[in-house]
Structure 1
Amino acid sequence: MSGDFPATSPEAVGLDGDQLLAADERIRRELPHVTSLLVARRGRLAFERYYGPGAARRQDTQSVTKSVLALLTGIALERGLLAGLDQPVLPPGTAVRDLRWHEVTLRQLLTMTAGLPSELTDPAYDEAWMASADPVRFALEQVLVDGPGRAFRYSNAGAHVLGAVLARAAGQDLAAFAQAVLFGPLGLAPPAWARDPQGRPFGNGGLHLTPRELLCLGQLVLGRGEWRGQRLLPEGWVEEATRAHVEGYAWMEGLPGYGFLWWTAREGDTEGWYATGYGGQYVAVFPELDLVAVMTGRVEPHPSHRHIIAGDVREAAR
């Protein structure tokens, strides 16, 4: 099965099984939008619950896709496909409306500081971008609202541009590159991935994975890029990607720090690294606890359920 994971009991890896069962009961009683909760510690799957038909199957992970893009960027850098984080995003001579686009770097796309408008605070821009015949070209035609590197603005368009940059650097489709260097080595079958009208996989979302497959990605990050004895990510990349480079929108999930398309927070006295997506998609990594948690939800508006991870699951680690 794609996403196989060695299983154990909570107690065998130092987790409070009663507290996890209480979290399960709270989800069933109070959070009807949640579709899964998985917890792994010390490399073993210790708790696994699904809520509703089809919950164990692949679903749209929304903006968790962005965090996967960050992992692919690290791989591309190590392989010499990209010159460095401070290389310009656009090839010389690329036609743009705002010449400041030529100053935008990979680092700024990874930290959401390129100067693009934020779809979260400008619904009209979001609708126009999504409806465009070429979302990459649409983004490049925008006048930047800040000078590159000056301010954090959460940007789906910027992540999609980064995906296009990676595909160009790799000389192949982004999904094919991801399968060759990341999903395949993890033992995952090729996932569905939504594409724009030009046929490009969306860099900002649309990647379909199962909760167990998300757990594999979290375990890879917990292992600082090593997976079952094989190094998939370059040395030091996870540490750099999960370090807070800028202050993000804390109101989104109560997560104040933003790394390279990963959110960071100090939960109690524990560091937490998060990949998050609309509808309650979470991959949470707690390195000091040797703990990974995954939660998924229906892709629709509903209250946040991150407190289950930040509270119940984290506190179950003894």
Structure 2
Amino acid sequence: MNDLDQTWLERAAVVVSERLPDVTSLLVSRRGHLAFERYFGIRKDEPQDTQSVTKSLVSLVLGVAVERGVLSVDQPILQNWSYAASVVNDPRWHQVTVGHLLTMTSGLPSEMTDPVYDDAWFLNADPLQFTLEQTLQSEPGEAFHYSNAGTHLLGALLAHTVKQSLDDFAQQVLLTPLGIPRRPWGKDAQGRVWGSGTLHLTPREMLRIGQLVLQEGSWQGKSVLPAAWISQMTCLRSEGYTFMEGLPGYGWLWWLPGPDETPGFYATGYGGQYIAVFPALDLVVVMTGQVSDHPNHRHVIAELARHMSASEAAQLK
């Protein structure tokens, strides 16, 4: 019994189909069961470009490396990485830790507010070297600057540390245990897998990721991710950019809603890619959208969570 208001969901699907033409899927899981599933212009088995949802998955697999003791959140990123240490010019790079990259507080500039820098980084013949050569805009830990380059750097550090490519490690410790086959995942000009985005997953596979997080790292009775990491990953760590998703809080590469919304956490990506997890409701919601600039549709998820919260509160009276 999933206790979902199917009538409300059907109405929401109609609203999506009639008023939100850029949405491509809406899936809802309640108490571990797929309770609602609609597609708009795509097949259910068609992998979607998750964009920056990829970042949140990088955080998940990093948790495995931390549990194994090969990395720590407080570790300086240049420690035991001679290549990176030989490239930096700004001495403050020696203060940048894994935690700073997880919270977007390394001091790197943000591509969101500087499209010229964004192109210069993304199109560079060696985006990793380009990133390490940057002069930091603020002291490490001082300010939030949403950084694609920083997460790509984190993915490269993880790959260097575990001595596997990022996609191989993620496949081994996260995707294969969830029954997800190898999917397209882009690489930079040097052949490094983009830590910042481009992993393709079907909406149902995205739902599995969310369910794994909801279940504190457990899948079909087996521990895939450390529960302690998920708990720490979804704590408020810094204040993010509300203009991006209307989500003011940031954890370790996961977004948190404000006090007026239902408590939970989100993995988000450009174009309306979402994995939303609401532990108190035992609820996971996935939405995908066209990878283009169009009106935000996260309000559909927020309204669903709010509707469910109100329904449960009414039942307790």
SS at match of 1:72: helix
Q: Distance in 2 between matches of 1:259 and 1:298?
A: 26
Shift of 1:242: 0.7
Match of 2:77 in 1: 89
User: Once structures 1 and 2 are overlaid, which stretch shifts more, 172-181 or 266-275?
Assistant: 266-275
Q: Is the aligned partner of 1:253 residue 2:245?
A: yes
1:292 and 2:284 aligned = yes
Does the CA-based 8 Å contact 1:267-1:310 persist in structure 2?
A: no
Q: How does 1:6-25 map to 2 (within 5 A)?
A: 12-25=1-14
Q: Which residue of 1 aligns with 2:182?
A: 190
- Contact 2:74–2:97 (CA under 8 A) maintained in structure 1: yes
Quote the offset at 1:313 in angstroms. 5.0
2:181 and 2:256 map into 1 onto residues whose CA distance is 29
User: Which letter does structure 2 place at the counterpart of 1:232?
Assistant: V
- What is the aligned partner in structure 2 of residue 240 from structure 1? 232
Question: What secondary structure, in the 3-state scheme, does the structure 2 residue paired with 1:296 have?
Answer: strand
Residue of structure 1 in register with 2:315 after alignment: none
Q: What pairs up with 1:47-62 in 2 under 5 angstroms?
A: 47-54=36-43, 56-62=45-51
The residue that corresponds to 1:4 in the other structure is none
Residue equivalent to 1:303: 295
Amino acid corresponding to residue 132 of structure 2 in structure 1: L
Matching residue's letter, 2:270: Y
Q: Distance in 2 between matches of 1:66 and 1:26?
A: 30
Q: TM-score, normalised by structure 2?
A: 0.94
Quick one: which of 53, 65, 79 aligns to 2:54? Answer: 65
Once the two structures are TM-superposed, the CA of residue 38 in structure 1 deviates from its matched residue by 0.1
Determine the C-alpha separation between the residues in 1 that align with 2:93 and 2:61: 23
2:38 is the alignment partner of 1:41: no
Q: Going by fraction, where is helix more abundant, 1 or 2? A: 2
1:94 to partner: Cα distance: 2.7
Q: Secondary structure at the match of 2:173?
A: helix
CA distance in 1, matches of 2:267, 2:227: 20
- Counterpart amino acid of residue 88 in structure 1: P
Confirm or deny: 8 A CA contact 2:272 2:290 kept in the other structure: yes
Q: State the percentage of identical aligned residues.
A: 56
CA distance in 2 between partners of 1:53 and 1:103 (Å): 46
The 5 Å alignment of 1:43-192 reads: 43-54=32-43, 56-82=45-71, 84-90=72-78, 91=81, 93-192=85-184
Separation (CA, whole Å) in 1 of partners of 2:57 and 2:285: 16
- Aligned-pair CA distance for 1:53: 3.5
SS in 2 for 1:13: coil
SS of equivalent to 1:315: helix
| Deviation string, structure 1 residues 142-177 (Cα, Å, up to 9, x no partner) | 000001110000000000000000001110111000
Aligned pair count?
Answer: 306
Q: Is this contact kept in 1: 2:87–2:129, CA < 8 A? A: no
Q: Once structures 1 and 2 are overlaid, which stretch shifts more, 225-234 or 206-215?
A: 225-234
CA RMSD of aligned residues (A): 1.3
Corresponding residue number in structure 1 for 2:215: 223
Secondary structure class of the residue paired with 1:219: helix
Which amino acid in 1 is paired with 2:210? G
TM-score, structure 1 as length reference:
0.94
Kept in 1: contact 2:281–2:308 (CA 8 A): no
Q: Secondary structure at the match of 1:40?
A: strand
**1:235 positional shift:** 2.9
Whole-angstrom distance in 2 between the partners of 1:215 and 1:145: 37
User: Contact (CA 8 Å) 1:62, 1:207: kept in 2 or not?
Assistant: yes
- Assess if the C-alpha contact under 8 Å between 1:110 and 1:260 holds in 2: yes
* Amino acid across the alignment from 2:75: Q
Measured after TM superposition, the shift of residue 54 of structure 1 is 3.4
User: Where in structure 1 are there 5+ consecutive unaligned residues?
Assistant: 1-11
What is the one-letter code of the residue matched to 2:229?
A: W
